[in-house]
Structures are given as C-alpha cells and as structure tokens.
C-alpha cells in the first residue's frame, strides 16, 4: 500500500480526529438513549402484561379471600351463634365464587392468585383457632370487620385506578358484595347477645 501524500495526511488528521471525537460522543449518546429507553420499557408493562399495581391487587385480593374462607370455615365449627354460622355459610359461598372469578381472570393474565393467606392473616387465623369458644364469636366478628374494611379499600382502589380494564371490572363487580358483608357484620356485632 502506498503512503498518503504528506499534504493529504496532514490535512486529514484534524478531520479524522474530529470525526473520531464526534463518533465517540455520538456512540455515548446512543448508549445513553438506549439505556434510558430500556429503563422506560422496564417501567411499563409489556403488551398483555399486568402493571405492578394490578399484580399486587391479584395477590392481596387472593390472600384476603383465602383468609376469609378459612375464618368462615372455622366459624362454622366453632361459633356458638346460629346467625354467625349462617353468615359464615354465606361467606363460604360468596368468597368461593369470588375466588373462582379471580382465579380464572388472573390465570388468563398469567398471574394466578396465591392460595394461601399472608403471614399476618395466618397469625390472625391461628389466634382465632386458639381462643376458647366463649371468646370466639366476638373475635371472629372483629376480624371480619377489619378484613372487610381492608378488602373494600383494596377493591375500591383497583376499581378506580387499576390499569387492567378486566381487573377494574372484577373489582367493581365485587364491591357491592363486600359492602353487603360489611353491613351484615355490623348487624351481627349489634345483635350480640
């Protein structure tokens, strides 16, 4: 290969240096833009994927419903009051149906709900199990009141602010049932013998 003429080599060096500098800056800029684009994509759910908020709703709703079912089954065995046992049967029916809807929808969204209560719910269930029969009914009603207040807040938030339209609708559809339960829980509390 023949060497470049001296005048061409001298003239080309600054141009080459500037080109390399620009290329380096451009490559860095491209890397920065690509990095930020990756961050933005990671923040948004992929098409068909659920947002972190919707996934949290599925998890929390599933855990709460499983805990309510376990407590209702315990009440069927332990309650001393016929009205509480009747309500516990209704809770089993209503929450079994609600769980089936949540399970079907969440599984279709590739995010099946949990089938176990969370740690706090598990501890509350253990406390209920260990109570003497005479103290069970009041503790069960208190647990129901608190659990339904949390569930109503959770479902209301999802119905109003969820990002998945199907989950929003499921939450909105379940709210009247939860509110009826809350009214019935208050009536059971007021009817305490």
Q: How confident is the prediction for the chain on average, in pLDDT?
A: 83
> What CA–CA distance (Å, rounded) separates 186 from 193?
14
Report in angstroms the alpha-carbon separations of 27 from 1, 23, 33, 77, 161.
Answer: 31, 6, 10, 70, 40
Tokens of 26: 């451009």
Let me know if 167 is exposed, middle or buried by CB neighbors in 10 A (0-12, 13-18, 19+): buried
How much is the average pLDDT of 67-85?
Answer: 96
Whole-number pLDDT of residue 145: 95
User: What tokens were used for 109?
Assistant: 């969204």
How does residue 84 score in pLDDT terms, banded at 50, 70 and 90?
Answer: very high
Residue 44 has a pLDDT of: 43
Residue 164 DSSP class: S
- Write the pLDDT tens digit of every residue in 7-47: 444 444 444 344 434 444 444 544 554 454 444 444 444 54
Which CATH number fits the domain 52-190, given the four candidates 3.40.50.10680, 3.30.750.24, 1.10.357.10, 1.20.1260.10? 1.20.1260.10
């Amino acid at each position: 290969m023949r060497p470049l003429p001296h005048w061409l080599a001298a003239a080309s060096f600054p141009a080459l240096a500037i080109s390399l500098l620009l290329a380096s800056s451009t490559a860095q800029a491209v890397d920065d833009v690509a990095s930020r684009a990756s961050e933005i994509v990671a923040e948004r759910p992929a098409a068909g994927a659920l947002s972190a908020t919707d996934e949290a709703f599925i998890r929390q709703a599933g855990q709460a419903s499983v805990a309510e079912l376990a407590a209702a089954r315990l009440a069927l065995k332990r309650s001393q009051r016929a009205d509480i046992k009747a309500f516990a049967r209704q809770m089993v029916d209503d929450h079994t149906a609600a769980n089936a809807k949540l399970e079907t929808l969440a599984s279709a969204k590739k995010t099946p709900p949990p089938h176990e209560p969370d740690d706090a719910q598990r501890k509350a269930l253990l406390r209920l199990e260990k109570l003497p029969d005479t103290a069970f009914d009041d503790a069960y009603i208190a647990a129901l009141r608190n659990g339904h207040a949390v569930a109503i807040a959770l479902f209301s938030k999802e119905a109003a602010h969820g990002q998945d339209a199907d989950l929003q609708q499921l939450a909105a559809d379940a709210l009247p049932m939860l509110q009826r339960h809350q009214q019935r829980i208050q009536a059971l509390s007021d009817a305490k013998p």
